[in-house]
Amino acid sequence: MLNILDQIFADKKKELPGTQRQSPLSEIKQRIGDQQVVRDVFKALEKGDTSRIIAEIKPKTPFKGELRKGFDAKIIAGDYVEHGAATLSILTESNYFGSSIKVFQEIRKIAAIPLLRKDFIFDEYQVYESRAYGADLFLLIATWLDQNLMSDLLSLGKELGMPALIEVHNEWDMEKAFAVNAKLIGINNRDLTNGKTDLGITRRLAPMALQEKGKVLVCESGIHGREEIEEFESLGVHAFLIGESLMTSEDIPNKLKELLGSEGS
């Protein structure tokens, strides 16, 4: 029996041929030339007066269901940008997260900060597609991808000027990230095979990730308050990818300011 992560990738594989027929690679490559220059996520995540938040936009998840009544991606993106997010993460998967690449395109028009395309990427077409819709970086999930494929996709992203956020969940994933010389590493506290979240994952893996200089370390999932951010910053974490605690907040701007540590500013 497939776990949820395997199922999502299996469905993406079934879906991809139809996407390629609808938008052939030649058209996708042509669209890339119409995009603005890639925005520098490493500069965006440099230490500043406040913490660095990658604020996520997603209508629902397979673990929690619908996250927000009256969901409007453009309004949420506007709030994130106005109130200090360093980068936006945009879910574009449709079957399990209720989104699409077209949402990404709409947000690109109003957001001048780096945008992460967060999806279940396993094919070069998806990397080209990410850039064609205005992505500045894209997600690669080390738990699912083998090292050689991850290296190939990472290299293609570099050719297009886009870094990849290599997402890890355990020591084996981290070894793969090191092997492909990932510069941007995200430690996901959520086990994508079952949805369980454990902040102890970052506590355990952060020292390992920072053994090599030059890595930018992102903590993902399970962050709900300022105390957790301060704890992980003391361990060397550079930035935080936060979705559900923002998406479920009654007041997104105030929640973001709280997480940033800028409530009084």
**Domains of the chain: which residue ranges?**
43-260
Q: Active-site residue among 12, 51, 58, 228?
A: 58
Rg (CA), the chain: 17
Segment 206-260, tens digit of pLDDT = 999 998 889 999 999 999 999 999 999 999 999 999 999 999 999 999 999 999 9
> What are the backbone angles phi and psi of residue 61, rounded to the nearest 5°?
-135, 160
Contact 61, 67 (CB under 8 A): yes
**Ramachandran bin of 133, using left for φ above 0, alpha for ψ from -120 to 50, beta for the remaining angles:** alpha
- Mean pLDDT value of segment 58-71: 85
What CATH code would you report for 43-260? 3.20.20.70
pTM comes to: 0.95
pLDDT digits 0-9 by tens, 153-178: 999 999 999 999 999 999 999 999 99
Give pLDDT tens digits for 111-145: 999 999 999 999 999 999 999 999 999 999 999 99
User: What is the C-alpha separation between 248 and 69, in angstroms, rounded?
Assistant: 9
- Phi and psi of 115, rounded to 5°? -120, 130
What DSSP assignment string belongs to 62-107? TTTEE--TT--HHHHHHHHHHTT-SEEEEE--STTT---HHHHHHH
- Structure confidence by residue, pLDDT tens digits, 13-41: 999 999 999 999 999 999 999 899 999 99
Residue 167 falls in the annotated catalytic set? yes
Residue 82 annotated as catalytic: no
Annotated catalytic residue 29: no
Other beta carbons within 10 angstroms of residue 217's beta carbon come to 20
Catalytic one of 99, 130, 188, 245: 188
Is 233 labeled as catalytic in the residue annotation? no
- 58 flagged as catalytic: yes
93 part of the active site: no
